[in-house]
Amino acid sequence: MPTHPGLNAHLTVHHPPTFHLDITLKATPGEVLALLGPNGAGKTTALRALAGLLPLTTGHLHLDGHPLENIPPESRPVGVVFQDYLLFPHLTALDNIAFGPRCQGATKQQSRATAKSWLTRMNLSAHADKKPRHLSGGQAQRVALARALATNPRLLLLDEPLAALDARTRLETRAQLRHHLAEFEAVAIIVTHDPLDAMVLADRLVVIEQGRTVQEGTPTEIARHPRTEYIAQLVGLNLYRGKSTGTEVTLSTGQKITTAEHLTGETFVAFPPSAVTLHRTRPESSSARNLWHCEVAGMESHGDQIRADLKGDLPLTADLTTAAAAELNLHPGTELWASLKATQTHAYPA
Ligand SMILES: Nc1ncnc2c1ncn2[C@@H]1O[C@H](COP(=O)(O)OP(=O)(O)OP(=O)(O)O)[C@@H](O)[C@H]1O
């Protein structure tokens, strides 16, 4: 057992002219971390730095107590599953998986035996002799995962592991990947911009925006207490920041939101779009403590729900059924009143 098991990294990478990545990543063996962030946040840069494909500008990268900075990528105990899998096209599934152990010095026979056992674990035995072009997307993904795992990595990196799959295969492959990650004993890091992949697959999320970590925590913590607009949108919440006195939060625009929690000082207030009730005329007898005048800026349908983007006193999104939207005769430009009960808000210190 190493004295400092797991990952301990401070990664800084400068991409001229203006991009700086500066993040700290720590994870214990068995932990699955998701690096989540919008396009251009620096996720791929972080992954490439961890794999050794990109040098650190400064910082450190320790795995199980050993510095990796000066170790070339092929000699690092790191397995990578690339977004497009990068399987060797001329090799069979079995030989793709056997390649890693063979490079590590195992005999041809040993490497093939290791590959066979991975094919069995991945439920791919029937496809051992197929070349990558004859595999389905989900099968290719599992071969790529097996190829990375067959080298016994101490750090497994997955770059958008489900992005290349269609919706149906994705669901099934996500469940299988979750199962394999649960069995994996070392550190796994998934890079994704899909919040669902991150929430389902990871124990802990590290959210990156513009090269910096903006929030870190379990999926539940992040979903309950988003701290940036990007994260709030990911988890489908309206989010505001302001100053609390008691149960009233005053935003920088002067708007006020009444909450149920009593707080003092800088505060976030979040509420789900489904908590908002829309009215065509100002409700006279509503028990809701919050009432805002607004106008429909845009509409989008989500299954049998309509999500309305509202501008006005307070920019917000509201969900309503298609029937309710028809009854209110909603269309861009419609003027409305939006009400919200204080008990439907969630306030927490900023
Ligand atoms: N080789 C490079 N040279 C210069 N700039 C780069 C290089 N690679 C990436 N960048 C810049 O660094 C920033 C971060 O890019 P990166 O690909 O790491 O983001 P990302 O979070 O993975 O985004 P995406 O989700 O779009 O893949 C971007 O502004 C990008 O333009």
Rounded Cα distance, 115 and 87, in Å: 14
Return mean pLDDT, the chain: 93
Q: Which atom of ligand 1 is nearest to the CA of 211?
A: 14
**What pLDDT was estimated at residue 55?**
95
Q: Residue 162 pLDDT more than 80?
A: yes
**What pLDDT was estimated at residue 1?**
65
Q: Residue 203 pLDDT more than 70?
A: yes
Q: Residue 3 pLDDT more than 80?
A: no
| CB of 19 sitting under 6 A from ligand 1 | yes
| CB of 242 sitting under 6 A from ligand 1 | no
**What pLDDT was estimated at residue 231?**
92
The residue nearest atom 24 of ligand 1, judged by CA position, is 39
Rounded Cα distance, 96 and 278, in Å: 57
Average pLDDT for 151-170: 91
**Domains along the chain?**
7-233 (3.40.50.300), 238-349 (2.40.50.100)
pLDDT digits (tens, 9 = 90+) for 129-149: 999 999 999 999 999 999 999
| CB of 109 sitting under 6 A from ligand 1 | no
- Determine if the pTM surpasses 0.90: no
Average pLDDT for 192-208: 91
pLDDT digits (tens, 9 = 90+) for 317-344: 999 999 999 999 999 999 999 999 999 9
Average pLDDT for 64-80: 94
Q: Residue 285 pLDDT more than 90?
A: no
| CB of 184 sitting under 6 A from ligand 1 | no
Share of the chain above pLDDT 90, in %: 84
| CB of 259 sitting under 6 A from ligand 1 | no
Instruction: Compute, in degrees rounded to 10, the torsion defined by CA atoms 9, 4, 161, 73.
Output: 70
pLDDT digits (tens, 9 = 90+) for 87-112: 999 999 999 999 999 999 999 999 99
Average pLDDT for 244-264: 94
Q: What is the 3-state secondary structure (H, E, C) of the chain?
A: CCCCCCEEEEEEEEECCCEEEEEEEEECCCCEEEEECCCCCCHHHHHHHHHCCCCCCEEEEEECCEECCCCCHHHCCEEEECCCCCCCCCCCHHHHHHHHHHHCCCCHHHHHHHHHHHHHHCCCHHHCCCCHHHCCHHHHHHHHHHHHHCCCCCEEEEECCCCCCCHHHHHHHHHHHHHHHHHCCCEEEEEECCHHHHHHHCCEEEEEECCEEEEEECHHHHHHCCCCHHHHHHCCCEEEEEEEEEEEEEECCCCEEEEEEEEEEEEEEEECHHHCEEECCCCCCCCCCEEEEEEEEEEEEECCEEEEEEEECCCEEEEEEHHHHHHCCCCCCCEEEEEECHHHCEEEEC
| CB of 20 sitting under 6 A from ligand 1 | no
Q: Which atom of ligand 1 is nearest to the CA of 16?
A: 4
The residue nearest atom 7 of ligand 1, judged by CA position, is 15
**pLDDT bucket at 237, cuts 50 / 70 / 90:** very high
Q: Residue 2 pLDDT more than 80?
A: no
**Of the ranges 32-36, 255-259, 324-328, which one carries the lowest mean pLDDT score?**
324-328
Average pLDDT for 145-157: 96
